[in-house]
Amino acid sequence: MTQKRLLIANRGEIALRIIRSAKEMGLYTIAVYSDVDTDSLHVKRADESYYLGGSLPADSYRNIKNLMKAVEDTDADLVHPGYGFLAENAEFAKAVQKKGVTWIGPSPETIKSMGDKIESRKLISKAGLQPVPGQLKPSRTKREALKDANRFGYPVALKAAHGGGGKGLRIVKNDEELNENFEIVKRESEAYFGSDQVYVEKFIKPARHVETQILSDKFGNHVYLGERDCSLQRRNQKLIEESPPIWLSEFGQEKLKEATLQIANISNYVNAGTVEFLADADENFYFLEMNTRLQVEHTVTEMRYGIDIVKEQIKIALGNSLEDFIVEPRGHSIEFRINAEDPSNNFLPTPGTITEYREPMGNGVRVDSWVKTGTAVSHFYDNLIAKLIVWGVSREEALSKGQRCLEEYIVGGIPTTINVLSDVLKTKEFKEGRIHVKFLEENFKIQEIGEEVSTDRPSKVNISLDETGSPTLAPQPPKKIGMDLTGSIRNPGIIRANMQGTIMDTMTKEGKKVKKGDSLFVLEAMKMENVITSPINGVVKEFNIKKGQPVNKGDVLVEIEL
């Protein structure tokens, strides 16, 4: 029998993870890569590799034309999109299927209806389920968004209609912040998901973030694979996920299972999928979105259920039935995201070269990574370095194992999230399962942007704990979304790039008067946009940047005179 050829339309740790499972299934693997990824591990581990284009996602991993040429030129039989990039792009799925190639994921129609946050809300509402209060149509203008925000009441979330993974999402507390962030969310949405449609949704606070995992085949069989708590977040993106959520009651579990299976049925779902909910203190669940793809944190479920979800995805795509698929959960699993960012500097992305890299090992320990000593972490892509997943027969064992592994994990040369994750595990709130989506912002001190941080060793956010294990820091007031990139004490009006990145937009020019806090420009790195504001009142003397310009750390971008 001819060996089937699988093209992985992605990069980094998820591409490597898919390659490993595919090889175990006897498939021939094909990697794709951009300029910056020429020597990446996913390229070296695949049986074949194909050059896509430039380092910008639009020139490579998000370029449907280039990817389809890769599919044709390599004679691929199957395409796995991974997560992010084009994983939830119905047009890409349709193009793959039109070529007679097997798409590993739900149908383009399901991606369009459930991957679109607005369309999915309509479908869920018709089914009698309760979504988070929000719009049922995109906001075409700021005026429309302001009208709905005031109708729902602040705070609200500005969200990419086709988004996921915390991308294209900003929480705003008033009209001013909505005005400041509306265009940013539109740009992020376009850059990540190929659509600039944005909608407004009520922000529930305090809230827990819980999600459910399913596998579905084309014969109408659905396998429910439990729940994951994803409440420990920063910048609306997850840092720790665990299964099962210890705060969830049996009644709550049944409610989530019933809702998830109902959603799978009404959407004619096929393949792996995740349904996300917000939960309030009374275990009222609100449908948030459905991720019509493999989740970053699918590994948590794999460890708890003893299965390989990627292999099951491939089997389903090849026509296998789930009728006799029976698995039982066991123990407790936790995932920690190791990101290239500086917790002591507002979790700012930190591209750079890894000078030392050593992963923890042991029974019940798994690391999905894509780096090694000498790897250059680029500002062009997401800053996820690795995922550390641990399993224990109990939550207590999983926690102690996670703590030990985080202490053993070494990433030199750039700041990472390792130490702050270790600090979180020591808090009473985490031990007791009382984390909510704003826990980090309210309990962990975050320094102002622009403070110098050594990159000689991993950064650490020191937290003092009282005798009960609770953080002793007083809750911090919410930070303004616009970031204040203050210059030096001697020259407070000089603004330097504090990271390598790209200028996404400019809001001023030479000779213009500005006030402290006025927006000057937008700097993007690792898919995070930062609104840089004026540190002082004055006049713009020099403005050395323009839209689309790449900048390096230390470059003088703006000079303002008093």
CA distance 219 to 205: 40
The CATH number given to whatever domain includes residue 90 is 3.40.50.20
- Which tokens go with 8? 């992985």
In a shared domain, residues 113 and 250 = yes
pLDDT of residue 490: 62
DSSP assignment of 254-271 equals HHHHHHHHHHHHHTT--E
pTM of this structure: 0.80
In a shared domain, residues 99 and 210 = no
Query: What is the span of the domain harbouring residue 193?
Result: 133-202
pLDDT of residue 166: 61
In a shared domain, residues 312 and 166 = no
Contacts of 562 (CB under 8 A, 6+ apart): 493, 536, 537, 538
Q: What is the number of domains present in the chain?
A: 5
User: How many helices (DSSP H) and strands (DSSP E) are in the chain?
Assistant: 15, 31
In a shared domain, residues 142 and 118 = no
In a shared domain, residues 452 and 509 = no
In a shared domain, residues 49 and 172 = no
pLDDT of residue 453: 30
The CATH number given to whatever domain includes residue 306 is 3.30.470.20
pLDDT of residue 163: 66
pLDDT of residue 233: 94
| Residue 23 in domain | yes
| Residue 443 in domain | no
In a shared domain, residues 88 and 110 = no
Q: Give pLDDT < 50 ranges for the chain.
A: 446-462, 464-465, 467-470, 472-487
pLDDT of residue 446: 47
Task: Provide the terminal-to-terminal Cα distance of the chain, rounded to the nearest Å.
Answer: 76
CA distance 267 to 120: 9
In a shared domain, residues 20 and 86 = yes
